[in-house]
Structure 1
Amino acid sequence: MVKHHLFWPICMLAILLLFNLVYSPRFFAITMKDGHLYGSLIDILNFGSPLILVAIGMTLVIATKGIDLSVGSVVAISGAVACLTISKSNDQNALGTLLLSVGISLALSLLLGLWNGFLVAKTGIQPIIATLILMVAGRGIAQLITSGQIITVSSSSYKYIGAGSLGTLPFSIFLVAIVFVISVLLTRKTALGLFIESVGCKPTASLLAGVRSHTVMLSVYIFCGLCAGVAGLILSSNVSSADGNNAGLWYELDAILAVVIGGTSLNGGRFFLSGTLIGALIIQTLTTTIYMIGVPPEITLVVKSIVVLAVCLIQSDTFRKTILMSWKTRKYPAERGVKRHAAKS
């Protein structure tokens, strides 16, 4: 049970939730208003949706022993293109305008993912360098699209993507659920997951075994770009505006942390989408906790980094064994001395 890869992430998520419950007794309260559910837990799922999407795509990239630092910029570009397209329309609420803006944004996100995959798979550039190029340039592209301003739109149909509800729950939760289920089915019910893991473990060996490693790497970067594009639509539609400078800022780091907390190794190979989901919820719950207890904005990132470091250390088998051995040494120093003496004799 303790050795299960989800044990420690679930424990840390439970600890964070219990801390919030102690601090705010109504933290778990869920109310119904105008046919919609409201509450802190619903907010965590709703506001954490973009991060979960980006982290799902990042998981498959990391499984191939890669990294994508450009997801934050892709988020900004996706939202900027969608809002710019809607703002240029004469009828912002028209269904055709919505479909056009979403289609252009997602197509561009796929193209950006293809660009990253081409640099990594075809040209052999190291993933961290290849995606760093788009991370820097993409943020500039987003600001060029918005002309350095915040583009606001008044489209109720577009706002529905990030702020609308389906039944009693936010629509964004259903988007995440669809992407998550599709990802799990494709990677666990087909050979694709095995191909991704084999490329992450031994790309040369997998190529010799008949796996098209370049195609696999290209595919995961395209998928990661698509996930970031959908996340950009959710973020921008939620506030009915696009900010090329701040949208998706540091999302790449939060996504990587979510993947690592979920148990996927940065060395590639075996990956855990369910663990990534828990990791992203931990990051979002931590963010909610920081805001709720009133941590000053200037030290928010410091507090967040300290907590994430503690989570990662607790998950580390080596760290736990070191602490346990240190505790045993202090508790039974004489006994250990006798054993060493007996061994020498």
Structure 2
Amino acid sequence: MKSLKAMLRHSLFWPVITLVLLILLDLAHRSNFLAISILEGHLFGAPIDILNRGAPLVIVSLGMTLVIATKGIDISVGAIVAIAGAAAATVLAADPSQVGTAVLAALGVGVLAGIWNGLLVAFVGMQPIIATLILMVAGRGVAQLLTGGQIIPIDAHGYLVLGDGYLAGVPCSVWIAIGATAVTALLMSRTALGLFIRSIGINPVATRLVGLRSNAIVFSVYVFSGLTAAIAGVIASSNVRSADGNNAGLLLELDAILAVTLGGTSLLGGRFSLAGTVVGALIIQTLTYTTYSIGVPPEATLVVKAVVVLLVSVIQSASARALFTRYLLRVIGFGATRPLTGSAK
């Protein structure tokens, strides 16, 4: 019984269950949903497509996780994705052979955007949602200026491989997402950064009083968020073979926040789960795939997504989880004599 209770209370339990239910729904609609085939040495199938399309969201959500863990928020990541893609496309339009320079330019503008957000939040003391809202609005204008208000096509093979190529049969974007996740996880688990970020989220005043440079750490997580958004911008622009300053990364910040919260990271700060974030991003992407595959009209897709997210969020609440746990234990025969009211043990 204790192991069952521990499993039900694990932060990854409900996100994983949600992902499994979505997969089962897809299997009920299409029996070969999980089928993966090999064509010209490349893996193809719905799972591969979900991983490929979800890679930018996974990467952006990693940076968002650390920002939220410090009690912050970054709603400018979608605009940074657009700026990064526009910067890369501008370089490639002048010289398609300058792939390395284009990637560095994209990553550079992402870091600069993160520095801007970090300065406003960590050192100026501006509220995170206001500070990042400034760049969210202005960033689209910057991207439009870089592209001249046009969609710039990208035809540099070396650049297109990043979002549309394959390595060992697996899309390169998936490998990039795996690498970004692994590096972030190592930084959080093998260094003191993870502990510092948690402590800032729990009690920033106490953290500062014990001598920790909390401002510098908050600044660094916004820079990291800008960098991850820029990486996603490179993948996204490579995948669609163009840079669109108006539509690239549109609403991506909302999907990233949803992915982080669905994965069990607390919006109150101090508690985060990178594994949960990855699962949350896969939930969002699988849900998008499911709505289209079962024939939900495009105009109703956002409504369906909102309903599912609402249900999962309610289930993840402490009170709902405790109630469901007691009910489940009662159904399977444990604690049958215990009342359904009262606090969970």
Normalised by the length of structure 1, the TM-score is 0.92
Of 10, 23, 33, the residue aligned with 1:4 is 10
Q: Which residue does the alignment assign to 1:191?
A: 192
> Residue type of the partner of 1:35?
G
Are 2:104 and 1:98 aligned? no
Change (3 A) 1:60 1:23: same
> What residue in structure 1 maps to residue 4 of structure 2?
none
State the match for 1:42 in structure 2.
48
How much has 1:317 moved relative to structure 2? Answer: 2.5
Which residue does 1:74 correspond to in 2?
A: 80
Let me know the Cα RMSD of the aligned residues.
1.9
C-alpha separation in 2, matches of 1:10 and 1:157: 36
Secondary structure of 1:48's partner?
A: helix
Q: Which residue of 2 aligns with 1:343?
A: none
Partner of 2:27: 21
| Cα distance between partner residues in 2 of 1:323 and 1:42 | 34
Q: What residue number does 1:342 align with?
A: none
Please report how far the alpha carbon of residue 234 of structure 1 lies from its aligned counterpart in structure 2 after TM superposition.
Answer: 0.3
Q: Letter of the aligned partner of 2:214 in structure 1?
A: S
Does residue 57 of the first structure (1) align with residue 66 of the second (2)? no
1:170 aligns with 2:171: yes
Query: Aligned partners of 1:65, 1:242: CA distance in 2, in Å?
Result: 32
Q: Which amino acid aligns with 1:119?
A: L
The DSSP-based 3-state class of the residue aligned with 1:305 is helix
Instruction: Give the equivalent residue in structure 1 for 2:208.
Output: 207
Partner amino acid, structure 1, of 2:28? V
Match of 1:255 in 2: 256
The 2-side partners of 1:237 and 1:323 are apart by: 45
Letter of the structure 2 residue corresponding to residue 211 of structure 1: L
Deviations 1:133-153 (A, max 9, x none): 000110111111111111002
Give the Å deviation of 1:295: 1.3
- Closer, same or farther in 2 for the Cα pair 1:320/1:270, shift >3 Å? closer
CA apart distance, 1:84: 1.3
- Residue 128 of structure 1 aligns to which amino acid in structure 2? I
Deviations 1:97-135, CA, capped at 9 Å, x for gaps:
000111111011101001000000000000010000000
Give the equivalent residue in structure 2 for 1:137: 138
In 1: Cα distance, 2:222 partner to 2:325 partner: 41
Instruction: For 2:191, give the aligned amino acid.
Output: T
- SS of 1:160's partner is helix
Flag the structure with larger Rg.
1
Please, which runs of 5 or more residues in structure 2 have no aligned partner?
1-6, 331-336
Amino acid aligned to 2:33: F
Residue 334 (structure 2) aligns with: none
Shift of 1:319: 2.4
Find the aligned partners of 2:221 and 2:27 in 1 and give their Cα distance: 39
Scaled by the length of structure 2, the TM-score of the pair is 0.92
Deviation at 1:204, TM superposition (A): 1.1
Output the amino acid matched with 1:145: L
CA distance in 2, matches of 1:250, 1:51: 11
* Structure 1: distance between partners of 2:326 and 2:99: 60
Distance in 2 between the 1:32 and 1:155 partners?
A: 26
- Name the residue aligned to 1:300: 301
Question: Number of residues paired by the alignment?
Answer: 327
Measure, in 1, the Cα distance between the counterparts of 2:318 and 2:271: 17
Aligned residue type for 1:144? L
Give secondary structure in 1 for the equivalent of 2:43. Answer: strand
Are 2:9 and 2:321, in contact at CA under 8 Å, matched by a contact in 1?
no
Distance in 2, matches of 1:271 and 1:175, equals 22
1:152 and 1:321 mapped to 2: Cα distance? 53
SS of 1:32's equivalent in the other structure is strand
Cα distance in structure 1, aligned partners of 2:175 and 2:196: 28
Q: 1:320-342: CA deviations, max 9, x gaps?
A: 445788999xxxxxx999x9xxx
- 2:128 is aligned with what amino acid? P
